[in-house]
Chains A and B, each alone.
Chain A
Amino acid sequence: MTEVENVTDLGSERARLLEVDSLVKEFGVRRSLAERLARRQIDPFRAVDDVSFTLDRGEILGIAGGSGSGKTTLARCLIRLIEPDGGEVRVDGVNIRDHKGPELRELRRRMQMVFQDPYASLNPRMTVGAALHEAGKVHERPGAEDEGAFVSRLLGLVQLTDRIASRKPRELSGGQRQRVSIARALAVDPELIIADEAVSALDVSVQAQLLNLFLDLREELGVAVLFISHQLAVIAEVADRIAVMRHGRIVETGPTQEVFARPKDEYTQALLRAHPHPDPRMRFAAS
């Protein structure tokens, strides 16, 4: 328990929140009958291939890449929703792969995930208030004794009114639901939010509000964000740094501005070239 207390001790805070070292995740490939009979081995598919990066407190790191590039698998490996096959994930210097039980739960509390589809991550039969309070209660967060105040503070953080507390998820708009899932993540005082395509399903006008919210939360709470998106322009709006993934590897990383202004990797260049610019004067070069 002492170690857990150590890592939550705000006094010993290191600027570097997350260190990922040579992370690997492989998925077995099903062999056909002929291949099994011939006892042929097939190399497993590397969804995450030797990925290393770091994330500082209060930093927003964008992870970009096409579908199948390993963005989501990487995110899930970080909190061990999927068990990585190699490498290290250190939170404040503590390797998450070395722990289990209460310690792992405590480490997971500090890294919360927000998914693309808020419908799937909220219990449809629970009111918003009950769902938020339950998260705080389970993790014994300070202030959770007073349900009303606890819920009201969280709703305030995501800029929703207290009236939302008595609603069920289906009574909310898409944007409101996503705000509630962010509030649910914030209920356990995380230091890192992993936002996996969290704004991708929203209309652009609502998407812009949510992007602003992430910036507000970073400013108010100092929370770091790992912002996963297939849209480079969305990452440009919020991220300090970007890592571009392809085939499970990070092919390029750096400050967002620098990577976008002078992309070095071929794939990053292709992604930028394909961006549909809203100004019709900047159409794709005719091929």
Chain B
Amino acid sequence: MSLLEIESLRIEFPGEDGQLVAVKGVDLAVEAGEVLGLVGESGSGKSLTCRAVMRMVPAPGAISAGSIRFDGADVLSLDTSKLRDFRAHSVGMIYQNPFGSLNPTMRVGAQIAETLKVNRGMKRDAAKAEALALLERVGIEDPEHRYRAYPHELSGGMCQRVMIAIATASSPRLMLADEPTTALDVTTQAQILKLLARMSAEEGMAMLLVSHDFGVIAQACDRVAVMYGGHIVESGPVETIYHEPEHPYTKALLNSVPELDSAGNVQRRAALAGHPPELSDVIPGCVFAPRCEYARPGCEAVSMKLEKVGPAHDSACPVRPFADANSKAKAEGVEA
């Protein structure tokens, strides 16, 4: 049994003419201690999938079908007090904008201590001592001093560290990280990713890391699921996905990622035409088919169910245009 199991998750929003489906039957599992990446462009449904785990889909959106099980327990049927308990102890969450998640009128130390008092029933002095220890653990220098700082006195990276301290205060078994480094400078991003990796390894904490940036995913994750138009189109070990993608969308996405190696060799990329589908676009069969250069008759009837294409590697594309090249690359790799 996996730590987190999401099955056939469907999230809908009421629209002017009928329901708009943002997440269309997502299956996803996170094993204990594993770092799983969820990568996709805007509107792919990756953030919603992540928030659904906390039952925090923003209104008027709602989970209309599917199931979410955490450690075997059905998250969607938890009553209010159990849900509160689940959010407090089992999972932690951090977001893109750390300033937005912190109370601007409270000192950051007090905010961490408050979490400890409420969630872990600590007394004042114990909470303060533990908050200082948490600040230290997330790599904030001079915690005594920072304890008394207000969020606006801290940099974005520092605030995100405080958020991580709060989110990990009750040693959750799963961390949900929704674009945790997108608003940060690249040097700070690297530090935060290292911190998350270290905490995940030390505590055996599993993590679901949502990002639009495959670079961030590649740096931090063991496995990755690629989302497009409300579906997971491919999932597998991050090395396999990068070197031997099976789904045309994954391949196109990777082709679009800007690389340092292009320096001095300025040339046009084989860019994907068009843009990701809007919520109101209803595309029969494969959601990627309208932009796919390998689309063929029959693609409009594809079920978008993930099929096994290799060890721990699944793809929703039955055409599999790169299957031959990938298996050849693998064979050569074995020889080498």
Contacts and interface: CB of A to CB of B under 8 A. Distances in A.
Interface of A: 60, 66-67, 173-176, 203-209, 211-212, 215-216, 230-240, 255-261, 270-284, 286-287
Given A206-B275, A215-B268, A276-B213, A270 B41 contact: no
Given A205-B276, A281-B239, A231 B258 contact: yes
Contacts of A232: 186, 260
Please provide the 5 A-B residue pairs with the shortest distance between their CB atoms, ordered closest to farther.
A257-B264, A276-B215, A274-B190, A203-B41, A233-B258
B254 interface: yes
B275 A278 contact: no
9 contacts: A204-B253, A208-B269, A211-B258, A211-B269, A236-B262, A257-B265, A272-B260, A274-B186, A280-B221
B193 interface: yes
Interface centre among A234, A260, A275, A287 (most CB of B within 10 A): A275
B266 A278 contact: no
B185 interface: yes
Contact of A284 (B219, B254, B258): B219
Interface string B265-294: 111110111011010000000000000000
Interface of B: 41-42, 185-187, 189-190, 193-194, 212-216, 218-219, 221, 238-239, 242-243, 252-269, 271-273, 275-276, 278
A123 B189 CA distance: 35
Contacts of B263: 235-236, 256-257, 259-261
A280 B268 CA distance: 24
B216 A276 contact: yes
B186 A205 contact: no
A283 B263 CA distance: 20
Given A257-B264, A280-B239, A205 B272 contact: yes
B237 to A, nearest CB: 9
Given A205-B41, A236-B258, 18 more contacts: A60-B266, A203-B275, A203-B276, A204-B41, A204-B256, A207-B256, A208-B271, A208-B272, A209-B271, A212-B269, A236-B259, A237-B269, A258-B264, A276-B189, A276-B219, A280-B221, A283-B218, A284-B219
B266 A240 contact: yes
B194 A278 contact: no
Contacts of A255: 264
Contacts of A66: 185-187
A209 B275 CA distance: 10
A176 B278 CA distance: 14
A274 B256 CA distance: 20
Contact of B258 (A175, A230, A234): A234
A278 B255 CA distance: 10
Contacts of A176: 275
A259 B260 CA distance: 11
A215 B185 contact: no
B268 A212 contact: yes
Contact of A205 (B193, B215, B252, B267): B252
A257 B261 CA distance: 8
Contacts of B275: 173-176, 203, 205-206
Contacts of A281: 239
Given A208-B271, A271-B186, A233 B259 contact: yes
A283 to B, nearest CB: 6
Contacts of B265: 257
B186 A230 contact: yes
Interface centre among B185, B213, B266 (most CB of A within 10 A): B266
